[in-house]
Chains A and B, each alone.
Chain A
Amino acid sequence: MIKEIVVASGKGGTGKTFISSNLAYLIHSLGENIIAVDADVEAPDLILALGGEKKRFWTEDYYGSFRPVVDYSKCAKCWKCLNYCRFGAIKKSDRGPLIDYSKCEGFGVCAVVCPSKAISLTRVKTGVIYMAESESGIKVITGDLELGGGSSGRLVYELKQRSRKFLKEGYVVVDSAPGIGCPVISSISGADLLVIAIEPTPQSIKGACRLLEVARSLRVKAVSVVNKYDLNPAIVDKIESMLEVEVVGRIPYSDEVVESYTAMTPLLATKSSIKETVEEVLNKILGEVP
């Protein structure tokens, strides 16, 4: 049985990677099998938080999109492609359809509907997927989306599929992208537990609230952790009732968190003064996995 825990936040910079990296480290040090998945494919840094890359197992190119190419000699200028393109990516020209690739989502509807078979699709590499071992001994599957790339949700789907191929038993810890959009939905769907990293600010609470709506629609159990809770203690007590989500732990602000990143060592592997608090919170999270 695989248990999948996804750490997300609704708003960036609230300590998502801090929680996921240390959670992965804790599970690993308990002797359990674990693969960490970095689903923040536009800005992947989980492996850095786990000490950096020690060994690369494999790398594969990710072809996440198609590029329609028009063979103008076959085009009958019927404009069916233009009428069917839902993303406004096709314009008329004397030769036939002109495709604006910055708008094209690459699903290939135009190629399917063209009666003259004048549009062919070529696969486009939109990123890479790789599995590596971090300096702290944890296996990480990560994706790196090309600059300006789309289709990040499908890349996340692929990453999660890979983690299940390489793990028969144990835990998958997913570090989600910030926000509530496409890659986040892919991260959360099918997970056993969602952990929401919240900061005691109105902005972060609003993001968490939006994220919870998504979790509920996907029927995924959610709990939350309040990071840097001492920045605004007055608001912390209200979070549970405002969001109707259990707060399983509170982590204080500490310079040692930034220092642990600079030293590329998970906080749990340091002598930090908040280490025990963090460990306790993470153990509680593990206890919440259904």
Chain B
Amino acid sequence: MIIAVAGGKGGTGKTTLAVSLALLASGEHKVLLGDIDVDNPCTFTLLDISLKTLRTIFAYKPVIEEEKCSFCGTCSFYCPAHALVVIPGKKVIFMETLCEGCSLCEVVCPNGAIREGKETIGYLKFGEKGYLHLIVGELKPGSRRYHEVAGETLAHILSISEKYDYIVVDCPPGTGASVAEALKVSDIVVAVTEPTRLGVHDLIKFKKLVERCGKKLVIVVNKYGISGGCYRELEKVAGNEFFKIPYDRYLVEAYSTGRSVVEMYPESPSAKALRDLWQWLRSL
């Protein structure tokens, strides 16, 4: 069974929840935790394990051979990412950080002055803790290609999925293409939100994405009980059927020291709520 942990807004506790579920499940099952939040993957820090690199992820990048170039400007005209600037008669400036690697420039160059090169865009990493295995995708800082790194990571997770009873996927925030792809391959989607106006607002958009993918949605409201929260609006959007993770000092303390609450304070109210959630999910 594949459980995707996502939710529109960032910083609502997705990683805490994904790590907790994976840890609880790994007590009795073979579990794979996949981290496709490639911009800043944090599952391994919360699990306090070190990773080893399985492989480097490469992508296309154009290499310009100036001796063949006539500075015609065709490449710059076609480049969708504004990564090429041609100074007529003088120079082609390639701004690597803007390039999306589509190869259009190579294809349209009338003089064959652009050839294929490759660049590192990220890394695929592995770690383990007892019966829990971890696959992490990590974007190389400065590369734009988060979508491809997340996609490769997800593909790797799926390629080894039959070895595991449960797969928990920690998704990036938002409602973009990488999230959509993870939802499509999941059996259950857990949306983590918080009772703030921004959290509720982003949940509305996220819910639509889940509905479009036709998946079962379980809403988890983290930091439940914080004062001044937007509880009435939350109920309007989430109905009455959502799980609550209470806001307690144990969760905050564990998180702010980079640990998981279910390991550090197993008897705390928040850890209990996480256990209840896991029991319920496994009954599905």
- Find out whether the CB atom of A148 lies under 8 angstroms from the CB atom of B175: yes
Say yes or no: is A196 at the interface (Cβ < 8 Å to chain B). Answer: no
How long is the Cα–Cα vector from A214 to B212 in the complex, in angstroms?
34
In chain B, residues 250-284, which have Cβ atoms closer than 8 Å to a Cβ of chain A? 252, 255-258
Of residues 59 through 114 on chain A, the ones whose CB sits less than 8 Å from some CB of chain B are: 84, 86, 102, 105, 107-109, 112-113
**Residues of B close to A213: CB separation below 8 A:** 141-142
Docked complex Cα distance between A95 and B209 (Å): 32
Tell me, yes or no, whether B107 is within 8 Å of chain A by CB: yes
Q: Which of B5-13, B21-29, B128-136 contacts A (4 or more CB under 8 A)?
A: B5-13
- In angstroms, Cα B45 to Cα A83, docked, is 40
- Interface positions, chain B 183-203, Cβ under 8 Å from A, are 184, 196-198, 201-202
Q: Is the CB of B146 within 8 A of A42?
A: no
Is the Cβ of A113 less than 8 Å from the Cβ of B97? Answer: no
Q: Return chain B residues, CB-CB under 8 Å to A199.
A: 11, 256
Contact A43 B144 (CB under 8 A): no
Query: Which A residues touch B258, using CB under 8 A?
Result: 201-203
The reply to whether A148 and B39 form a contact with Cβ atoms under 8 Å apart is: no
Q: A29 an interface residue at 8 Å Cβ cutoff? A: no
- The answer to whether B176 and A86 touch across the interface, beta carbons within 8 angstroms, is no
Contact across chains for B8 and A43 when beta carbons are under 8 A apart: yes
From 100 to 117 in chain B, residues with beta carbon under 8 angstroms from any chain A beta carbon are 100-104, 107-108
List B contacts of A232 (CB < 8 A): 256-257
B91 interfacial contact with A, CB 8 Å:
no
Contact flags (1/0) for A205-248 with B, using CB distance below 8 Å? Answer: 01100110110011000000000000110010000000000000
Quick check: is B244 within 8 A (CB to CB) of the other chain?
no
The 0/1 profile, CB within 8 Å of A marked 1, for residues 25-38 of chain B is: 00000000000011
Q: Which residues of A contact B179 (CB under 8 A)?
A: 148
Question: Contact: A43 with B12, CB < 8 Å?
Answer: no
In whole angstroms, what is the CA distance A203 to B12 when docked?
13
Total number of A residues with any Cβ neighbor in B under 8 Å = 63
Q: What residues of A have a CB within 8 angstroms of the CB of B196 in the complex?
A: 258, 261-262
Task: Decide: B40 and A153 in contact? CB cutoff 8 A.
Answer: no
CB distance from A221 to the nearest CB of B (A): 17
**Which one of A102, A206, A261 lies within 8 Å of B181 (CB-CB)?**
A102
**Whole-angstrom CA separation of A207 from B15 in the bound complex:** 14
Q: State in angstroms the CA–CA spacing of A114 and B179 once bound together.
A: 32
Q: Is A170 an interface residue (CB 8 A)?
A: no
Q: Is the beta-carbon distance between B39 and A207 smaller than 8 angstroms?
A: yes
Give the interface of A toward B (CB within 8 A).
9-14, 17, 40, 42-43, 45, 48-49, 84, 86, 102, 105, 107-109, 112-113, 145, 147-150, 152-154, 157, 177-182, 184-185, 189, 199-203, 206-207, 210-211, 213-214, 217-218, 231-232, 235, 255-256, 258-259, 261-262, 264
Pairs A–B under 8 Å by Cβ, sample size 28: A10-B39, A10-B40, A11-B10, A13-B9, A42-B8, A43-B202, A45-B9, A45-B201, A86-B102, A102-B184, A107-B100, A112-B107, A112-B108, A148-B176, A148-B212, A149-B177, A153-B100, A153-B144, A154-B80, A154-B81, A178-B174, A179-B40, A185-B144, A199-B256, A207-B39, A217-B141, A258-B228, A262-B230
Beyond A107-B80, A217-B141, 17 additional pairs, beta carbon < 8 A: A12-B9, A43-B10, A45-B201, A84-B103, A86-B101, A86-B103, A107-B104, A112-B78, A147-B180, A150-B147, A180-B141, A181-B146, A189-B97, A203-B15, A214-B142, A217-B142, A259-B228
